[in-house]
Structure 1
């Protein structure tokens, strides 16, 4: 019984840490993260990443500095549309579909909601980026 108390005290005295994903070098915003950009560091962070596979292929939203943990809000899916890019716009309602061109006023990834300007009317609209790189305009 006495040995069990010593063992449990030793476990409490030495907490176990998991590995946290950190940049191996500074990563600039809008850069795609590769295997060579990240590594593990000792430490447990609730809002960080524990697996390299969760980070590789993502895009840095902010500057990531070597040795500092990568937080959930620091990365996201890669952008498919950049600011000022000419994009296809689609609007569908009541069995009618309208397609035209617009200019992206923001950058974004698939599924993001961005502002676009209709080149014909110069109206600013909001739309969601589709998988094919076009923007589905919402009313």
Structure 2
């Protein structure tokens, strides 16, 4: 029975191995992945198999052509880069203050980062919104 199973796996490798996603080209760190950057490869190696888990994500490291993708290699795309100027907003009830700020860290939407208020030269903690503004944490 075991010999039959080994023979079946040798003749039809797709039965024993699931297709995983690999880089179709070398993807430098910071690249936002598109469908054209992926290809399916058969192999016994672990990796992502669902394209929706990779498309739209940003690479943390350089991923070389043919290398299987893992979740640890990807991150949500960065909206704000370190030292980038952005709109800093403080809101409390009806009071809303907007000023210019400088990001002190890289961030994706929803991340909490430090931002320097350019008017007062003080650092505050703020949450990055999907439009790239930073809302001061209260």
Structure 2 CA distance for partners of 1:9 and 1:30, relative to 1, 3 Å? same
Alignment of 1:1-139 (within 5 A): 6=1, 10-11=4-5, 14=9, 16-43=16-43, 48-93=47-92, 95-139=94-138
What's the TM-score, normalizing by structure 1? 0.80
RMSD: 2.2
Question: For residues 92-130 of structure 1, what are the alpha-carbon distances to aligned partners after superposition, in whole Å with 9 as ceiling and x for unaligned?
Answer: 235433221100122222112222111011112221111
Where does structure 1 differ by over 2 angstroms across 4 or more consecutive aligned residues? 8-15, 43-46, 92-98
Tell me by how many angstroms 1:53 deviates: 2.7
Aligned pair count?
132
Question: Which consecutive residues of structure 1, in runs of 5 or more, have no partner in the other structure?
Answer: 1-5
Normalised TM-score (structure 2): 0.81
CA contact (8 A) 1:80 1:109 kept: yes
